[in-house]
Amino acid sequence: RGRATLIGLIGRGIAPSLSPAMHEREGARHGMPYVYRTIEIGQREATADRLGELLASTRRLGFDGLNITHPVKQLVVPLLDELAPSAALVGAVNTIVFEGRRTIGHNTDVTGFGAAFDETFGTGAHGRVVLVGAGGAGAAVATALAGRPIAELVIVDADPGRAEQLANEIATDVWDSVRAIEPAALPDALAEAAGVVNATPYGMADHPGTAFDPALLTDRMWVADIVYRPAETALLVAARERGCRVMSGLRMAMGQAADAFEIFTGEPADRRAMLADLEEL
């Protein structure tokens, strides 16, 4: 490669993002000139027209690819020429590559959570999995889980309509072992569960505590959190105390970055080193 790889991150409120440091450190490990820049957009730029102009501009400026984050992961979908299966399934894109004149969208939140899940909890069969939180991140998690050998996916959200909608989107002709439940039914659903995933903001500094009572956890269950700042959420602390196997949100965050790096560069990412970077940053 004769010139630097140039990648951008488009989104709102992205100044504190760890993506530039994570990507540039991984590029440095490969000995490649690799530049990753944030492209902050305002509220008025979060329209299909303005986003389309921005994509065209970044391509003209020589960007090789982009990460896309809140609030435009869904808005960007119809602007692209092609979608990888991960993005088509979830209807959202967090990674774009420019290949010649074509723009191809991927979703490495889906593939990143999936890879982290397999690595942490194994690729064997699981019983019932309960997903708490049916927002954007919950949709990526549900899509990843639906592609794995789990007996049943149960989705709950404080807004029951969201859980219902996500369950409908996830169900397919070949796999429909997914249903939404009301928050009041969560204790019963958890009593029979093999594992639970938190995809609500609970555990972050501005959402202290847990989305549900950790007394509902038993040592037979695994517990995954997708909140990663802080990495040790109140839920994971309680789960460890109860003897549960746990997966922190750092693994999904690392997985999405590693998968994006591989898409951008065609080089294998050093996942162990990227996780260590994330723990340190």
List of residues contacting ligand NAD (CB under 6 A): 109, 132-138, 156-159, 162, 199-201, 204, 211, 226-228, 249, 252-253, 256
Q: Which is nearer to ligand NAD, 132 or 190 (CB)?
A: 132
Q: Are strands 95-99 and 102-106 parallel, antiparallel or unpaired?
A: antiparallel
**How far, in Å, CA of 38 to CA of 8, rounded?**
6
At residue 21, φ and ψ (nearest 5 deg) are -65, -45
- Ranked by CB distance to ligand NAD, the top (closest) residue is 135
Q: Which is nearer to ligand NAD, 71 or 268 (CB)?
A: 71
Residue 1 Cβ, how far from ligand NAD at the closest point, in Å?
A: 28
**How far, in Å, CA of 145 to CA of 126, rounded?**
10
Are the C-beta atoms of residues 264 and 96 closer than 8 Å to each other?
A: no
User: Rounded to the nearest 5 degrees, what angle is found at the Cα of 134, between the Cα atoms of 215 and 94?
Assistant: 125
Q: Which is nearer to ligand NAD, 4 or 237 (CB)?
A: 237
Q: Is 73 a catalytic residue?
A: yes
Residue 66 Cβ, how far from ligand NAD at the closest point, in Å?
A: 17
Catalytic residue among 73, 106, 126, 128: 73
Other CB atoms within 10 A of residue 1 CB:
10
Q: Which residues are CB-contacts of 217 (< 8 A; sequence separation ≥ 6)? A: 190, 196, 223, 238, 239, 242, 244
Residue 174 Cβ, how far from ligand NAD at the closest point, in Å?
A: 26
Q: Which is nearer to ligand NAD, 159 or 279 (CB)?
A: 159
**How far, in Å, CA of 174 to CA of 114, rounded?**
19
Residue 161 Cβ, how far from ligand NAD at the closest point, in Å?
A: 9
| Residues belonging to the active site | 73
